[in-house]
Amino acid sequence: MWRDESVTYQVAHRSPSEIMHLLGNADAVHGVYYFFMHELFSFWDGGLFALRIPSVLAICASAGLVGLIGSRIAGARVGVVAGLVFAVNPEVQMYAQEGRSYAIVCALVALATYFFVRLLEDASKALWVAYTLTALTATWLHEFALLAFAAHGVTVMTLPHPARMRRHWWTSAGIVLLCLLPVVYFSAGQSGQVSWIGNPKLADWFQIAGLAVLAALCLKYPPRDGRYRVLNQMAIPLTIAPTLFLLLGSIVQKMYVDRYVLYSSIGVSLLLGTAFCRGLDRVNALRQGSRRRMYRAGALIASCAIVAALVPPTLELRTPSSRKDNVTAIADTVENVARKGDAVIFAPSRRREWKLSYPRQFSGLNDLALARDPVRSGTLEGTEIPASRIRSRMMSAVRLVVLSDPADQPEDTSAQETVKREVLRTHFAQCSRTRVRGAQITVYARPGRCRLPR
């Protein structure tokens, strides 16, 4: 379990009134997901397995829906290939095993896209209702899912459909946007929560550039088969538009995180599935049997090479090192190094999250800086006392277990965090330091007091 999953776990175990109290201060954008997980844990408190199983099932459903979308438009072969491409995508696999909302959002976008494809054939009222409700649910789980439906709008505007189709889509979009306004209003007031988001990396720009090249090739060499053409016109906006919007928006306000647009993998998979099947069609159309066999062998070898290249990252994703931290290992380390009478300091205070999902390992440790715990304060990590009182409490301690970020992370400059570092530097000696994934656990004591009995 890593820190984001730990947030899900501990918030989902609060009462509905306590969750509402939290959402008034933080994480309003994830409110629907927290209530869903609360109900799941109320029905079955299955620990880490229960935390992750909704994401696993959601990605399985997404892969199936990608296959259905491809099959519906371009035939079973395209559907099977696109579904397999989606399933082996390392990014998709990563969020399939994470207790957060992104996999469920992806599944809902896939379902809405399936309804959208059906609407291109038969714009019945029942399908429009199903499409709108699915879109609304997805955006309430994460508001950036709205970008997927904007991509559908691009398809509606570019395909030769009757004006009635466009009117219905605008009506659906208006309903979704209107119902989303409360979430946008509350989450906008909590924008400080995502201050950790940095500028997009160079790799992110290269990724969107690569996708743009793929899309450009699909447009430059349009397929003769009308089914492939329709699939491209639906998949290209879904592949490009959401990611490009967030990247460009990050120039003004930092907002790009790849998991926010995980659902763009649906479009990528459909494009690659179409490209692969178009290639096979061309090979099968060759008149010379020897050339056809040679190209088929080349396609088989290339496919095997791609699968082999995906094995290492696929295995890596199933290890703790694939996450930013390992809350389980952190808690176990604290239990091993702590002694009776020790106090604990979280530096920075937001790392108190490491404690909340594993309170047993921290039992008996006095949280010196804590003013109000997360539940009573309606926050994710609790609130801390002023810097002067933190200094006083630390000066009264003999041994401290300090949980902090790795050394390469920037230090917080608030008064509370500054005084923690100053007191440790001038009044305590370092006894031991244990580094685990994404954290370091350091034991400090007054000079000569490192070795205390358990």
Is the residue at 256 inside a domain?
yes
Place of tokens 């079955």: 44
pLDDT digits (tens, 9 = 90+) for 219-274: 665 555 566 777 888 899 999 999 989 888 888 888 888 899 999 999 999 988 88
Domain boundary among the residues 230, 262, 285 is at 285
Report which of 44, 55, 41 is spatially closest to residue 4, judged by C-alpha positions. Answer: 55
The residue ranking higher by pLDDT, 196 or 120, is: 120
Tokens 């994460």 locate to 142
Q: What pLDDT does 230 receive?
A: 78
**What confidence category does residue 284 fall into, taking pLDDT thresholds of 50, 70 and 90?**
low
Residue 430 CA from chain centroid, whole number: 37
227 compared with 333, residue with greater pLDDT: 333
Report residue 92's pLDDT band, with 50, 70 and 90 as the boundaries: very high
Task: Lowest mean pLDDT of 85-89, 245-249, 279-283, 309-313, name the range.
Answer: 279-283
Specify whether 202 is located in the same domain as 123.
yes
CA–CA distance from 302 to each of 89, 296, 444 (Å)? 16, 10, 56
Which tokens is 24 given? 């008034």
DSSP state of 259: G
Residue 396 pLDDT exceeds 80: yes
Note whether 340 and 267 are same-domain residues: no
Residue 288 has pLDDT above 80, yes or no: no
Q: What is the mean pLDDT of the segment spanning 152-173?
A: 86
How would residue 124 be classed by pLDDT, with cut points 50, 70 and 90?
confident
Q: Does residue 453 carry a pLDDT above 60?
A: no
422 and 364 assigned to the same domain:
yes
Same domain, 333 and 274: no
pLDDT of 199 strictly over 70? yes
* Structural domains in the chain (count): 2
Query: Cα-flanking dihedrals φ and ψ of residue 402, to 5°?
Result: -110, 125
Q: What is the pTM assigned to this prediction?
A: 0.89
Q: How far is CA 122 from CA 103, 119, 363, in A?
A: 28, 5, 61
Give the β-pairing of 370-372 and 439-445.
Answer: unpaired
- Establish if 402 belongs to a structural domain: yes
Cis geometry, peptide bond prior to residue 348 (ω within 30 degrees of 0): yes
- Rounded to the nearest 5 degrees, what angle is found at the Cα of 262, between the Cα atoms of 239 and 227? 35
Contact 353, 380 (CB under 8 A): yes
Closest-CA residue to 141 (of 81, 216, 55, 18): 55
Position 34 pLDDT exceeds 70: yes
> How do residues 398-408 score in pLDDT, each as one tens digit?
999 999 999 88
In this prediction, residue 222 carries a pLDDT of: 56
Tokens representing residue 454 in the block: 């358990």
Is position 227 within any domain?
yes
CA 262 from chain center: how many Å? 7
Question: Does any domain span residue 390?
Answer: yes
Q: Which residue has the tokens 């399985």?
A: 60
Report H helices in 341-437.
353-356, 374-377, 387-395, 415-427
Select the more confidently predicted residue: 413 or 228: 413
| End position of a domain, from candidates 255, 285, 315 | 285
- The answer on 388 and 256 residing in a single domain is no
The answer, yes or no, to whether residue 13 has pLDDT greater than 60, is yes
| Confidence (pLDDT) at 186 | 83
Report whether pLDDT(192) > 80: no
| Last residue in a domain, options 235, 260, 285 | 285
The range of the structural domain enclosing residue 134 comes to 3-285
Please give the angle made by the CA atoms of 422, 427 and 430, to the nearest 5 degrees: 90
Establish if 420 belongs to a structural domain. yes
Residue 275 and residue 333 share a domain = no
Q: Which residue has the higher pLDDT, 251 or 329?
A: 329
Whether 377 has a pLDDT exceeding 80, the answer reads: yes
183 secondary structure, DSSP code: H
Residues 243 and 149 in one domain: yes
Cβ atoms of 259 and 102 within 8 Å: the answer is yes
Q: Which two tokens stand for residue 63?
A: 């892969």
Q: Buried (b) or exposed (e) across 284-299, using 16+ Cβ within 10 A?
A: eeeeeeeeeeebeeee
Verify that 258 and 362 share a domain, yes or no. Answer: no
Instruction: Please check whether residue 396 lies inside any domain of the structure.
Output: yes
Length of the chain: 454
CA quadruple 136, 138, 140, 144: dihedral sign:
negative
What sign has the CA pseudo-torsion 96, 102, 106, 107? positive
Residues 278 and 189 in one domain: yes
Return the SS3 of 383. Answer: strand
3-state SS class at 414: coil
- Round the average pLDDT of the chain to a whole number and report it: 87
Which residue matches tokens 């790009």? 256
Structural domain includes residue 360: yes
Q: Are 8 and 27 spatial neighbours (Cβ–Cβ below 8 Å)?
A: no
| Beta-bridge partners for 435 | 440
Give me the residues paired with residue 434 across strands: 441
**C-alpha closest to that of 89 among 285, 215, 272, 220:** 272
Same domain, residue pair 335 and 259: no
* pLDDT, position 337: 92
Q: Write out the two tokens for 399.
A: 């041994």
pLDDT of residue 416: 93
CA neighbor of 242 nearest in space, from 256, 231, 254, 253 = 256
Cβ of 89: how many Cβ atoms within 10 Å?
21
Token match 């969020």: residue?
95
Q: Are 135 and 202 contained in the same domain?
A: yes
Looking at the structure, tell me whether residues 251 and 116 fall in a common domain: yes
Buried b / exposed e over 162-187, threshold 16 CB at 10 Å, is eeebeebbeebbeebeeebeebeebb
Which of 190-194, 255-259, 351-355 reaches the highest mean pLDDT?
351-355
User: Is 65 within a domain?
Assistant: yes
